[in-house]
Every structure is written in C-alpha cells, then in structure tokens.
Amino acid sequence: MKRMLSGIKPTGQLHLGNYIGALRNFVKYQDDYELYVFIANLHCVTFYQEPRVLRKNLKDAIALYLACGLDPEKCTIFLQSDVFAHAQLGWLMACQSYMGELSRMTQFKEKSQKNDEGITAGLFTYPSLMAADILLYDADYVPVGDDQKQHVELARDLAIRFNNRYSETFVVPEPLSPKVGARIMSLSEPTKKMSKSDESDKGCIYLLDDLATVRKKIMSAVTDNLANVDYDKENQPGISNLLEIMSSLSGEAIDSIVSRYQGKGYGEFKKEVADVVCREIEMIQKKYDKIVKSDLIETTLKQGAEEASKISYRKLKKVQKKMGVDIF
C-alpha cells in the first residue's frame, strides 16, 4: 500500500478552503493509502501565538479532523511536537537547504512582506521542517492545496540531494492536489485565496461559524454585474468560486450546475450554494460537539504519537548514521 502524509497548521480556526482543499480529501484517502495526518503545531509558532488561543485551535483542529471523518483505526493522527524526530530531522534538513532556495519560497516572501513585527528565522526555515515532516515517513504522496506545492517540491529536491550525497535514504514524494477546489477563493475578494489570515472575516467561512453567519457570508459574496452564472475565472472570479465550492461539496459537475442556472439570477444560485454548504457544515458541527465532550482527542493523540514515533525514530537514526552524526 502506498503511503500518504499531510499536515495542517491551525494558527486560526479551520475554514472551508482547508476543508475542500485538504481535510475532506484525507478522509477519502484513508481507505486506499497508509495515511499519516498531523497537526503542524511547530509550524504554527513561526509567528507569536497567544498560548491560550493556540491551545484551543490545536484541540479544535483535531476534533475537526475526527468530525470530518478521519478514523484513528484507519490512519495515524498525531501532534507534530509529540514526535521528537520532526524537530531533529528539521534541523538536519535546514543544513541541506540553501539560502537561495529558501528565499525563493512564495509563502516566505508573502508572509515576510505582510508582517511588520519582525520575521523569525523559523519562518525562513519552515520549508526545511516541512521536508523533514514528509521524508521521515517515506511518504509517496502529499495531498495539499496549490499554495503548498512549492514546499513539497523542495522536499523532493532535498530527498534527491540527500540520496545522491549519502546513498539511497528517502522516498521522493509527490504533491497531490484536487482537480476542483485546490484553491477556494475569498468570498469578499475572489482573486485572493480564502485564508484565516484574511484581514476581513467576511471572505472566510469557518467550519465552526454558526449556520446563520455561514448563510450571510455566502449571500453577500462579491460577484459581478454580468448577471449570468458562468465558469469564467478571469471575468467572473466570484461566481466561479461559488461554482467550485458547490461542485466539490455536492459532486455535481460545474457544467451541469451552470446549465441549470441559465437565465436565473445570482440570488437563487447563492441560496443553493448556501444550502449545500450549511448542510455539510451542520453535519460536521454535530459530530464536533460530541467529540469535544469525549476523551477521543486524548486517546487518538496518544496512540498516534506512539505509532509515528516508532517509524520516524528509525528513519532519523538511519539519516544520522549516514551523515556521520551518530557514532554507534
């Protein structure tokens, strides 16, 4: 069975973009792959996080993993910092990465431009740690949204570099992104991706938003004045985004939705999008409410950390031996 690994970095509440671009696909993959999913809490602290808020977001993210259908009996779910090999291989990978390649990372460039509090060294070496996350488990595939593809490419480069320098050690991973929904856009600025780091909350639907808020955000989504439901990302980015959201949640092809709405208004279309999104979110929230009251989060993380530690420790030892870091 091929191995797959992915992580989410919950510096805020998880949103519909995370769900459609990542989470929901993990659930589909757990039956066909040996799946490892983790919460990248070490990646969260490249910027200051209020400890109390971070703790709540991490816990919510695990609960949402479970609520969306990830099953700890079918896959390994863990918290990155519980598995010590990540930070350790992260350092060794930083020592394989060149300043030039890390400086070219789009996410680093964007986030360092936006932030005026000071850019940490952690933000710069973030992709080296991400490479370690992936390479520790010999993952064949890494399902991510479009924005993370460049980081997976770096993991590939580092694996190849290491294998050439020290002999065959790592599997070279491949990124995997969904055909529809790899980049859900903001509802208020449909040329930007839906993101928890959005300044305004209107463009981002959180999985834990109450349903009235979800509906309101969709009904006031920015569209255009062409008055025609069509999939045209360039001229109708708002409508195209709503079409992608609806198609990926309902399974109905975009063409089919477009033809159903010929000659009809945006209001009616948005109402159906809101119905589809609310139905999905309501289901998730019901499960979430039960999970947070149970001890499932704790038991899942304990079991996950044990399994992940075993595999990753073996790999770390192998790497250290090859590099000459280990003596015995």
Which residues would be at the binding site for ligand ATP (CB under 6 A)? 8-9, 17-18, 20-22, 144-145, 147-148, 182-184, 193-197
Give whole-number Cα distances, 112 to 43, 117, 122, 124, in Å: 15, 10, 11, 9
- Angle (nearest 5°) at CA 131 between 314 and 73: 60
What is d(CA 250, CA 229) in angstroms, rounded to the nearest whole number? 17
> Residue with the closest Cβ to ligand LTN?
7
- Of the residues 193, 217, 270, 315, which is catalytic? 193
Active site residue 59: no
Active site residue 302: no
> Residue with the closest Cβ to ligand ATP?
21
What is the chain's Cα-based Rg?
A: 21
17 has which bridge partners? none
Residue 221, helix vs strand vs coil: coil
Q: How many other CB atoms sit within 10 Å of the CB of residue 133?
A: 29
**CB-based contact 236:261 (threshold 8 Å):** no
Closest to ligand LTN by CB, 131 vs 214, is 131
- Residue 238: name its binding partner from ligand LTN, ligand ATP, none (Cβ under 5 to 8 Å by kind): none
Closest to ligand ATP by CB, 203 vs 304, is 203
Per 3-state DSSP, what percentage of the chain is helix, strand, and coil (rounded to 5)?
A: 55, 10, 35
**Residues binding ligand LTN (CB under 6 A):** 5-7, 9, 40, 43, 130, 133-134, 142, 144, 148, 151
What is d(CA 323, CA 328) in angstroms, rounded to the nearest whole number? 12
What is d(CA 66, CA 291) in angstroms, rounded to the nearest whole number? 8
Q: How many other CB atoms sit within 10 Å of the CB of residue 139?
A: 26
Q: Which residues, at least 6 apart from 286, have a Cβ–Cβ distance to it below 8 Å?
A: none
Q: Least distance (Å) from ligand LTN to the CB of residue 7?
A: 3
Closest to ligand ATP by CB, 183 vs 316, is 183
Q: Least distance (Å) from ligand ATP to the CB of residue 108?
A: 12
- Residue 72: name its binding partner from ligand LTN, ligand ATP, none (Cβ under 5 to 8 Å by kind): none
Active site residue 9: no
Closest to ligand LTN by CB, 130 vs 246, is 130
- Of the residues 59, 196, 287, 318, which is catalytic? 196
Phi and psi angles of residue 80, each rounded to the nearest 5 degrees, phi first: -50, -45
Q: Least distance (Å) from ligand LTN to the CB of residue 130?
A: 4
Closest to ligand ATP by CB, 92 vs 128, is 128
Closest to ligand LTN by CB, 66 vs 144, is 144
Q: Least distance (Å) from ligand LTN to the CB of residue 286?
A: 26
- Residue 133: name its binding partner from ligand ATP, ligand LTN, none (Cβ under 5 to 8 Å by kind): ligand LTN
Phi and psi angles of residue 38, each rounded to the nearest 5 degrees, phi first: -140, 165
Q: Least distance (Å) from ligand ATP to the CB of residue 227?
A: 26
Q: Annotated active-site positions, please? A: 111, 193, 196
